[in-house]
Amino acid sequence: MTDDHSNHKIGRREFLGAATAAGFMIIKPGLVRGTAANSAVQLGVLGCGGRGTADATGFIDNTDTRVVALADLFADQLETAHQHFDGQQKAKGYAAIDTSQLFKGPKAYEQIIASKVVDAVLITTPPYFHPHHLEAVIAGGKHVYCEKPVAVDVPGAKHVMEIAKKAQGKLSLAVGFQIRKAPPYVELVRRIQGGALGRLGCGLAYYYCPHIDRPDWPNASADEKRLRNWVWYRSISGDIIVEQNIHVIDICNWTLQGHPVKAVGGNSRKLREDAGDCSDNFNLVFTYPNDVQMSFGSTQFDKHEFDAAVHFFGTRGSCEAHYDHRMSISGEEPWDAGLGAAQQGGQFSAAGTFKGALDQADSEKQKAFVESIKSGNLLNEAEQGAESALSAMLGRTAAYTDKAVTWDELMKSKEVFDPKIDINKMA
C-alpha cells in the first residue's frame, strides 16, 4: 500500500505553511453534488495500495458512491487501481474514470484535492503522511475518510485535533475504525455500558498476527523500497502497535469510554527477518480510569494463527469478543452473538478482510460516512481517532523506554517521526 506523499523532503512546518499560503476554503455541504437526493458521492482515492483499493471497492459496492479520481506516487499502483475500478464500475453501468483524473507523483495529492469532480477524498497513504494529507483535504473543502492511524507521533496527533476544529459543522471527517460499526460489537458494547458485566475490574486485549510479507522490488532505490514496504518501518507506520494493534486499543477506549492514563511494559524484535525496524511483539498493561487494568499483547511474526480479541471482567460477568468467531457474555446476563467457533480455512488479510464479527463492519462504516454527506448530519471523528492513536503511542513509549509512562507525560512529547525521504527523486 505505497501511495502518494507530501511535496519533497517532508517537514510539517513547510507543508503547513504552504497550505496556509494556498488559503483555507470550506464548501457548504449543500453545494456538494453528493448531498443532493439520489446523487452519487464522487470519491477520489489518495493512495491506491491494498487498503485503498479494498476501501474504495467497498464504497462502490455498499453505497451510492463512484470513484472518479485516483492519486498515487507510483505509476504501477495507479494503473493497477485504474484497471480495477474501471472494471468494477463498468459492471455497475458506470462510466470509466476520465484519464484527466489520474494523478501521479509528488504533487498528486494536491491535484486530486483540487479536482472539481471530487466530493470526498479517501486517504489511504502511509500513516506518516496522514496529518499532511488530512489538513490539505480539509483546506480544499472536501469531505474526507482517513484510514487509521491519523498520525504516528504526538505532535501529529495534536495537529489532527486542530484540523478537526476547522472541519466541525462544515465537512464530514471520518476515521477508519470500522469495528465501531460492526453490529455484534455495537451490541456487546451497548450491553457492557448498560451494566451487563457490572463494575469492571480488568480486561485483556490482544492482536496476534502473522508476519506481513512484501515484495523485494529489486529495481527500486533504498528509499523507494522503504515507501513501498512502509509497513515494516516505524518512522512511516508508527510501529505495529500504532499501525495495526490500534484497533483493539480503540475497542478498549470505546468500551471504557475514555483513554488509558498510564502504561507499562515492553517490546522486542526477536524473530522478524525483514529489512525494517518494526517490533515483532509488545506486552503491556494499560491503566484506565477507575483503576481498570487492561493487559495487552501483540505479535507480528512467523506463520502462526491469527487472532484478535478483547475480554472484560466485572462483578456480574465476563465477556469475550473475537474478530472472526466467538462473541459472548457469561454471568448474570448471558448473551451470545451466535458466531460459533472460529472459521475454518479462513485467511488473515493485511488489507483488513475478515469473516465473522466484522463481516458488516466496513459496509456499515462506509454507509454512515456517505449518509452523513447526503443528509448534512456531518461526522467529525478526528479527535476520537487522535485519542486512540495517542493511546497506542502511550503503550509504544512505555515499551521503548522500559518505564511507566502517564498520559500527561506522553502529551508533552515533541518527538517527531521522520523517514527523511526525498520523494521528488521518485517522480
Q: Are residues 334 and 272 in the same domain?
A: yes
Residues 191 and 144 in one domain: no
Per-residue model confidence as pLDDT tens digits over 217-276: 999 999 999 999 999 999 999 999 999 999 999 999 999 999 999 999 999 999 999 999
User: Could you tell me if residue 369 is inside a domain?
Assistant: no
Q: Are residues 166 and 194 in the same domain?
A: no
Q: Is the pLDDT of residue 27 over 50?
A: no
> Lowest-confidence range among 66-80, 117-131, 188-202, 330-344?
330-344
Give per-residue pLDDT as tens, 120-171: 999 999 999 999 999 999 999 999 999 999 999 999 999 999 999 999 999 9
- 37 and 89 in a single domain? The answer is yes
Same domain assignment for residues 125 and 104: yes
**pLDDT band (50, 70, 90) for residue 305:** confident
- CATH number of the CATH domain containing 128: 3.40.50.720
Name which of 383, 388, 390 is nearest 411 in CA terms.
Answer: 390
Report the distance separating Cα 158 and Cα 156, nearest Å: 5
Reported as a pLDDT band with limits 50, 70 and 90, residue 406 is very high
276 in the same domain as 134:
no
Q: What is the pLDDT of residue 425?
A: 85
- Flag whether pLDDT at 290 surpasses 60: yes
* Contact partners, residue 404, CB within 8 Å, separation at least 6: 262, 263, 264, 398
What integer pLDDT is reported at residue 55 of this predicted model? 98
| Within a domain: 336 | yes
- Whether residue 130 is found in the same domain as residue 263: no
Residue 323 and residue 222 in one domain? yes
Does residue 75 carry a pLDDT above 90? yes
Q: Identify the band that residue 325 occupies on the pLDDT scale cut at 50, 70 and 90.
A: confident
What is the value of pTM for the model shown? 0.90
Whether 161 and 109 map to the same domain: the answer is yes
Looking at the structure, tell me whether residues 142 and 49 fall in a common domain: yes
Per the domain annotation, does 317 fall within a domain? yes
The whole-number average pLDDT for the span 360-371 is 97
Least Cα distance to 175 among 124, 141, 209 occurs for 124
Residue of higher predicted confidence among 294 and 26:
294
Residue 146 within any structural domain of the chain: yes
Instruction: Look up the domain containing 145 and give its range.
Output: 12-179+376-380
CATH number of domain containing 391: 3.30.360.10
More confident of the two residues 4 and 106: 106
169 and 185 part of one domain: no
Q: Which pLDDT does position 303 carry in this prediction?
A: 86
Q: What mean pLDDT comes out for the span 61-81?
A: 98
pLDDT at 7: 34
Judge whether residue 347 has pLDDT over 90. Answer: no
pLDDT > 90? residue 350: no
* 351, pLDDT greater than 90: no
Q: Which residue has the higher pLDDT, 197 or 302?
A: 197
Residue 190 within a domain: yes
Number of domains forming the structure of the chain: 2
Do 298 and 222 lie in one domain? The reply is yes
Q: Round the average pLDDT of the chain to a whole number and report it.
A: 90
Q: Does the pLDDT value for residue 340 go beyond 90?
A: no
Confidence of residue 354 (pLDDT cuts 50, 70, 90): low
Give domain status of residue 6, yes or no: no
In a domain, 417, yes or no: no
As a whole number of angstroms, the distance between CA 75 and CA 278 comes to 27
Does residue 424 sit within a domain? no
